[in-house]
Structure 1
Amino acid sequence: MRAFVLLALPLALAACSQQPETDGDAPESAETAAARENVTLDLQATGIVVPPQEGIEQLDVPFGSNRSATEATLANVLGAATGGHEGEGDCALQTTEYPGLTLIFQEEQFVGYMASAPYVPELGRAEMLGDPGVSLVADSTLDGEFAIGTGETTIAGKFSGEDDTAQVERLWAGENCIFR
């Protein structure tokens, strides 16, 4: 099943559930936090899909979507953003951040994402590389860089180390500032 998920692109990964918006000053209840742990995101090479679950209809957020619509759609599932960056210098991309997920924008369009735990597979390097759809990136300046898929349907990633048990540390797709 894991091989199918990796090859099928999207990756089914744990995320947060849809909840009614709350007052920004009100702390999140334990019930709300627990419910969000059960929702899934599919991180794809072409954007993000929230599959139907827990009363949520499927939500598609492809690259090229308007920034405000992207943020509003994902806020219904992820809750309020926790930060962001407006981009300058060598990386003029703007970001909106959630725990474990950074959305990337350029000229008010959704152009990429970068994900870490809990949105990355909990698989070791040997298990990931055992899948024929996953390969190390030759001559990469990032130790442990790998790719899932090929061509325009690629999700890139990085392992936490070189040994067989090294975990997936990050996944990214679309436009990103990766300083090499």
Structure 2
Amino acid sequence: MRRLALVTGLAALALLSGCGRDGNESAGGNIATQTDNGGEFVVPDGTIGNGAGGIDNGSVESADTVKLAARGLRIGDAGGGDRLIAFDTPRADTLGAVRGALGEQIGVSHNDQCGAGPMDMAEFPGGLTLYFLDGRFAGWDVAPEGGGTFTTPSGIGIGSTLKAMREKASVDVQANSSLGVEFNTGGLSGLVASDTPTGTVTRLWAGNSCIFR
């Protein structure tokens, strides 16, 4: 049983392989992490994407924060508001919004082996990687090597403990995952160092992300 190797930068993307949709196992034995609409860590206020997964209310050039959400990414603006960049948003709109907050991507890649279909990937400072399927935002992944401090609106991110997560929402833990100790909560998935209350989050992802099992 092969385990995910957490390595830096685009080298990590080269190790990522196919995944299916909707949490179902693909023929190659890989599993998608697909979001739902009930993410406990998503804050419902602020401007959200429209029904087609787009962005409304104009430019996000003043964005200064990026928060992780089960249905995409939340971009904060200088006025203290935020909006949801929802999964299925066109790639150009997604990249424009995230660049407004984080600057230019530091790497791009393509993987034909994803079970959900060929994916394009854009890596941003801080360990955030965005996944695009058929030209639309499909998922995100945060790795610890980037040294970023990305969190959900409620403060869950790399380094958070299982105890802290369980104080905010229900958390399902799979201690015998081929990746290690895996968890899911409200559409967010990831890895923790152990299944004890003090076990800390070592990786986070949501949506369709190619993680080889």
* TM-score (norm: length of structure 1): 0.68
Whole-Å separation in 1 of the counterparts to 2:94 and 2:173: 31
AA matched with 1:101: L
Aligned match for 1:8, one of 32, 37, 40 = 40
Aligned match for 2:88, one of 57, 64, 86 = 64
Aligned match for 2:113, one of 55, 74, 89 = 89
Residue in 2 aligned with 1:118?
A: 149
Q: Which residues of 2 match residues 89-168 of structure 1 at below 5 A?
A: 89-90=113-114, 92-99=118-125, 100-116=127-143, 117-120=148-151, 121=157, 122-129=159-166, 131-137=168-174, 139-149=176-186, 154-168=187-201
Q: Per the alignment, in what secondary structure is the counterpart of residue 86 of structure 1?
A: strand
Q: Per the alignment, in what secondary structure is the counterpart of residue 54 of structure 1?
A: coil
Greater CA deviation, 87-96 or 169-178? 87-96
Whole-Å separation in 1 of the counterparts to 2:80 and 2:135: 26
Aligned residues: 146
Whole-Å separation in 2 of the counterparts to 1:55 and 1:170: 30
Equivalent pairs: percent with the same residue? 27
Q: Is 2:95 the partner of 1:42? A: no
Gaps of 5+ in 2: 1-38, 44-59, 152-156
Shift of 1:133: 1.4
User: Could you say which structure has the higher helix fraction?
Assistant: 1
Gaps of 5+ in 1: 1-6, 12-17, 21-35
Give the 3 Å change call, closer, same or farther, for CA 113–123 of structure 1 in structure 2: same
* Residues 11-70 of structure 1 deviation map (CA, whole Å, 9 limit, x = unaligned): 7xxxxxx878xxxxxxxxxxxxxxx9xx4433211111113x434753321000100111
